[in-house]
Amino acid sequence: MHKKKLTIAAVAACSLAAILGQQTHANAAEAAPAADSSSSTSVTFTVTVGALSITAPISSNLGSGAPGTTIGPTAIGPVTVTDNRAALGAVWTATASSTDFTTGGGTGPETIPATDATYTAGTVTATGTVSAAAQPAFALSGAPQTAVVGTGINGNNTATWNPTISVAVPASAVGGIYTATLTHSVS
């Protein structure tokens, strides 16, 4: 009978150890932190940039007037700066210059100096983030003069104005059709 008690005690001890081992193993599984199941991806893209450009009318007729009078002021048509540089804090300056006015009438090419013509930018209409300001009227010349300045730029923008030109025709001017080349630039 002693053998039976010993066997029962041994079986009971093994069973208790197995039960305690399972509970310890179960508690350990519950207490273990979950595995990290996230993954990161670096995502990029490029914002493309364009150019800074200016457009102006191909031609314009200022009208007519007698010697000793002023022709105009006459609007020549819209001038537009397009800034596709997608910049922050950039600036641009639009300028205008002109050759002298000449005609083939009379005894040869007759000339009215560009400085006898006045350029006035007038009202500027802008799109995008830019502060576009017309500069005071100025006498045209072969040297570029500042017409409009764009500041406070943030991204792409445009500015459009319709400048006027007036010409003080000298009293000594001979009759004819006078032509000059007006150049707009932006930088």
Q: pLDDT tens digits for 74-124?
A: 999 999 999 999 999 999 999 999 999 999 766 667 999 999 999 999 999
Q: Does any domain span residue 180? A: yes
The average pLDDT across 172-187 equals 95
Could you tell me the end-to-end alpha-carbon distance of the chain, in angstroms, rounded to an integer?
112
Nearest to 161 by CA among 129, 121, 120: 121
pLDDT computed for residue 41 by the predictor? 93
Nearest to 96 by CA among 116, 120, 132: 120
Q: Does any domain span residue 15? A: no
Q: Does any domain span residue 121? A: yes
Q: Tell me which of 131 and 49 has the higher pLDDT.
A: 131
Q: Does any domain span residue 22? A: no
Average of per-residue pLDDT values in the chain:
87
What percent of the chain stands above pLDDT 70?
Answer: 80
Q: Does any domain span residue 13? A: no
64 backbone dihedrals φ, ψ, rounded to 5°:
-145, 165
Strands (E), 11-169: 52-55, 70-75, 79-83, 92-98, 101-103, 110-112, 117-120, 124-134, 138-139, 145-161, 164-168
Q: Does any domain span residue 175? A: yes
**pLDDT at 17 > cutoff 70:** no
| Strand partners for 147 | none
- Structure token pair of residue 41: 């991806």
The average pLDDT across 22-49 equals 74
pLDDT computed for residue 7 by the predictor? 47
Cα dist from 53 to 47, 91, 99, 156, whole Å? 19, 13, 22, 12
Q: Does any domain span residue 23? A: no
Number of domains in the chain: 1
State which of 28-32, 34-38, 144-148, 170-174 shows the largest mean pLDDT: 144-148
Can you state the percent helix, strand and coil of the chain, rounding each to 5? 20, 40, 45
**pLDDT at 28 > cutoff 80:** no
6: pLDDT confidence band, cut at 50, 70 and 90? Answer: very low
Q: Does any domain span residue 20? A: no
148: pLDDT confidence band, cut at 50, 70 and 90? Answer: very high
Query: Domain of 179?
Result: 52-186
23: pLDDT confidence band, cut at 50, 70 and 90? Answer: low
pLDDT computed for residue 35 by the predictor? 74
The average pLDDT across 154-179 equals 96
Nearest to 178 by CA among 100, 84, 67: 100
The average pLDDT across 60-84 equals 97
Sign, Cα dihedral of 4, 6, 10, 12: positive
